[in-house]
Structure 1
Amino acid sequence: MPPARNPWFKVGLDAWSLGVEAASVIGLRTLAIASGGPAADAEARRMISEKVDAAFALQTLAVTGGLGLTPLTATSRAVTLYRRKVKANRRRLSRP
C-alpha cells in the first residue's frame, strides 16, 4: 500500500512530529531549569505535575473507551493528546 493511502503512515508522521516538538521542549525546559532560582524550581515542579496529569488523562481515556476501538484510532488519539500538551508547553516556554 502506498504511504499516502496507509493510515499508519500519517500516525507515524504525527508521532515523529511529536518527538521533534518534545525535543525542543526538553531543550527549552533544560535552559529554564539550568538558570536556577525560584522560577527553575517552579518549572521543575510543573514539569513533573504535567507528566503525571497527562499520563492520568491518557489512562482515563483508555479505561472509558475514549481512545476508540481500533489500534489505529487509539494510537492516533494518544499521539494527539500528547501533541496538544507538548505544543502548549513549547508556546509557553518560547515566550520571552
Structure 2
Amino acid sequence: MSNPVFAALMLALEAQTVIELRLVRLAWGGREGRAEMHAMVSEKMWAAFEATGTLMLGGTPDQVIARYREHVAENTRRLKAA
C-alpha cells in the first residue's frame, strides 16, 4: 500500500472487529475463553518479534503494517467461523 497513514488507519479499523470478537469469546469464558486468552497473548508476542525482525533486517514500517493486517484478517476469519 502506498499511503502509510491509510494503511495504519485500515489496520486500526480492522483490528476493532477482532477485538470485538475476542471480547465476546472471553466473556463466554470456559475452555474456549481461556484458549483465546492464551492465543491472544502468544500471537501478540510473536507479532512483535516478527515486526522487530523485519525492521532489523531492513524492512519498512509499511511491510510491518501489511503483515499485521494479514494477522488481523486471519484472526477475523478464524473467530467468525467459530
Q: TM-score scaled by structure 1?
A: 0.79
Give 1 or 2 for the bigger CA radius of gyration: 1
**Given the alignment of the two structures, is residue 85 of structure 1 paired with residue 71 of structure 2, yes or no?**
yes
> Structure 1 residue 95: deviation in Å?
1.0
Letter in 2 for 1:12: V
- Identity level (%): 35
Letter in 2 for 1:29: R
Give the counterpart of 1:23 among 8, 12, 16. Answer: 16
Count of aligned pairs between the two proteins: 81
Letter in 2 for 1:83: R
Give the counterpart of 1:43 among 36, 41, 51. Answer: 36
Q: TM-score scaled by structure 2?
A: 0.92
> Structure 1 residue 87: deviation in Å?
0.7
| Alignment RMSD (CA, Å) | 1.0
Q: String of CA shifts for 1:12-65, please: whole Å, max 9, x gaps.
A: 111111101101100000000100101100000000000000000011112222
4+ aligned runs moved over 3 Å, structure 1: none
